[in-house]
């Protein structure tokens, strides 16, 4: 007899705390990345201003300023790496924690199921739908979408999943296909996915800080993730 392995899953409060922490780290790493990338130009300009009062040929003044700037750039990069290293452990821990709940919180079926388990209407709906014909199930799915009734949508999916595949009038995915994906029942999933995006961007920024440069690939990846994020989440970022 096979046995399911029960594993720990983060609750919504933990996900929200983790997301907030990751967004803070992302903001810090973004500032560090900008400081590192802009360091050569900023340091050279500052060094030129500092040596501008020294009486020497222009070419020698620029060479002296560049050497002085190189030292300043090294200091900026060293300080940035030290601050980034202090965040590294948190990012590794966040990756492990998010992995625990990936199946439960990144899957819309699992989220809909877990968020409606305590709704007594779901059991009532299921009892009424057991043995229902194709048209009745179709009507129930459409009604769930039209009225934003998550308990009814979950009940229809549960009934379908208990039927032999060949006997299903439509697939469970079709129910979610017409159900509003911005429904509040999916908010835990949106929070989880937002935390994942913050982790991915933080890891990308961390690498750029350590390497001392901004990569085009990293910028594109972060840009695409921002485009994919819901409007409300982009407003929080």
* Of residues 79 and 227, more confidently modeled: 79
Indicate whether 3 pLDDT > 50.
yes
Q: How many residues does the chain have?
A: 237
Provide the pLDDT for residue 234. 42
Q: Does residue 64 form part of some domain?
A: yes
* Of residues 230 and 148, more confidently modeled: 148
Distance in angstroms (rounded) separating the CA atoms of residues 106 and 192: 7
Q: What is the DSSP string of 93-146?
A: HHHHHHHHTHHHHS-HHHHHHHHHTT-HHHHHHHHHHTT--HHHHHHHHHHHHH
Task: Look at the block and give the residue holding tokens 């007594």.
Answer: 120
Extract the tokens encoding 49: 């201003």
Residue 132 and residue 81 share a domain = no
Q: Does residue 158 form part of some domain?
A: yes
Distance in angstroms (rounded) separating the CA atoms of residues 157 and 64: 72
Rounded alpha-carbon distances, angstroms, from residue 42 to 33, 34, 39, 49, 80: 14, 11, 5, 11, 15
Provide the pLDDT for residue 236. 45
Residue 172 and residue 192 share a domain = no
Provide the pLDDT for residue 231. 46
Q: Does residue 130 form part of some domain?
A: yes
Residue 18 and residue 135 share a domain = no
Q: What is the mean pLDDT of residues 111-134?
A: 96
Closest CA to 151 of 180, 100, 115: 115
pLDDT 10s digits, 211-229 = 887 655 555 455 545 555 5
DSSP secondary structure letter of residue 64: H
Q: Does residue 195 form part of some domain?
A: yes
Q: How many domains does the chain have?
A: 2
Provide the pLDDT for residue 169. 96
Q: What is the mean pLDDT of residues 77-83?
A: 94
* Of residues 178 and 228, more confidently modeled: 178
Residue 75 and residue 116 share a domain = no
Residue 224 and residue 195 share a domain = yes
Q: What is the mean pLDDT of residues 113-132?
A: 96
Structural domain boundaries enclosing 19? 12-100+188-236
Q: How far is CA 121 from the centre of its chain?
A: 32
Residue 192 and residue 164 share a domain = no
pLDDT 10s digits, 85-107 = 999 999 999 999 999 999 999 99
Distance in angstroms (rounded) separating the CA atoms of residues 18 and 98: 9
pLDDT 10s digits, 21-56 = 999 999 999 999 999 999 988 888 887 777 766 666
């Amino acid at each position: 007899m096979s046995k399911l392995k029960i594993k720990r899953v983060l609750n919504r409060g933990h996900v929200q705390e983790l997301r907030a922490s990751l967004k803070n780290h992302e903001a810090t790493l973004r500032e560090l990345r900008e400081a590192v990338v802009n360091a050569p130009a900023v340091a050279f300009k500052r060094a030129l201003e500092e040596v501008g009062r020294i009486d020497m040929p222009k070419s020698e003044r620029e060479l002296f300023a560049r050497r002085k700037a190189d030292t300043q750039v090294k200091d900026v990069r060293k300080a940035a790496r030290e601050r980034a290293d202090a965040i590294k452990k948190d990012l590794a821990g966040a990756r492990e924690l998010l992995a625990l709940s990936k199946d439960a919180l990144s899957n819309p079926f699992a989220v809909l199921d877990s968020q409606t388990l305590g709704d007594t209407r779901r059991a009532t709906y299921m009892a009424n739908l057991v043995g229902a014909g194709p048209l009745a199930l179709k009507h129930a799915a459409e009604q769930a979408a039209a009225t934003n009734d998550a308990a009814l949508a979950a009940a229809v999916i549960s009934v379908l999943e208990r039927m032999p595949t060949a006997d299903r009038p439509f697939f469970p995915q079709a129910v979610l296909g017409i159900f509003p994906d911005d429904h509040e029942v999916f908010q835990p999933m949106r929070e989880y996915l937002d935390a994942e995006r913050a982790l991915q961007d933080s890891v990308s920024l961390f690498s750029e800080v350590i390497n001392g440069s901004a990569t085009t690939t990293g910028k594109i990846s972060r840009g695409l993730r921002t485009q994919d994020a819901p409007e409300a989440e982009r407003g929080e970022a």
